[in-house]
Chains A and B, each alone.
Chain A
Amino acid sequence: GAVVSQHPSRVICKSGTSVKIECRSLDFQATTMFWYRQFPKQSLMLMATSNEGSKATYEQGVEKDKFLINHASLTLSTLTVTSAHPEDSSFYICSARLGPSSQPQHFGDGTRLSIL
């Protein structure tokens, strides 16, 4: 149980392109979903927390207009990297949680984004 699907797994695109990443909880309804990015040899950096039907809460230093998050249903959240530039290249990982904060987060497989 607790399967989280993330798509696509890898994206290579030109600078200025907008990229959309989907995160789905397959066998449970996720009350909360999270978006992280991870640079090589570093730990996870939380970008934002989203709850279904409400606006995402962004971490300090994360640009809301740059990283658009939509959490349209209890099983789907999307992250759109708008007008991506090479510095946005990173490993983006979503996670989903069923229930309160005492419950674990379950991670998707991640999306490796490369901007040329």
Chain B
Amino acid sequence: QKEVEQNSGPLSVPEGAIASLNCTYSDRGSQSFFWYRQYSGKSPELIMSIYSNGDKEDGRFTAQLNKASQYVSLLIRDSQPSDSATYLCAVNQETSGSRLTFGEGTQLTVNP
């Protein structure tokens, strides 16, 4: 089992739809969770941080965390073609010390 696992994708949604990106993690003691967006050929940029169970909203983005299920997700409402990118789930696992453990990423394409 991978430490941080994401839907491999690619995920394709029409413009205006909700894109749902999922991530599971293995270390039950994890406390900090992050979503990054990476455009092709560019470096990752932070979209959301989430630390507590429940939903956290920032504009069109909503992160959801369920520690009991070891599951974190990212919803993108009113998806735009400019949202087309690879989305990386990152977890600060208790067993990893200072490091972040990244998932393999989910490639999202929003079709006009």
Contacts and interface: CB of A to CB of B under 8 A. Distances in A.
Contacts of B103: 43
Interface residues of A, number: 20
Q: Say which size band chain B's interface belongs to.
A: 20 to 34
Given A44-B102, A49-B98, A49-B99, A101 B42 contact: no
Contact of A43 (B32, B43, B49, B104): B104
B49 A101 contact: no
A35 B38 CA distance: 17
Given A43-B104, A44-B88, A49-B99, A104 B49 contact: yes
Contact of A106 (B46, B90, B92, B98): B46
Interface string B26-46: 000001101010000011111
Contacts, number: 48
Interface stretch (A73-81, A82-90, A107-115): A107-115
Contacts of A107: 36, 43-46
A105 interface: yes
Given A6-B43, A102-B51, 11 more contacts: A43-B88, A44-B44, A44-B102, A49-B98, A101-B98, A103-B32, A104-B34, A104-B49, A105-B34, A105-B90, A107-B36
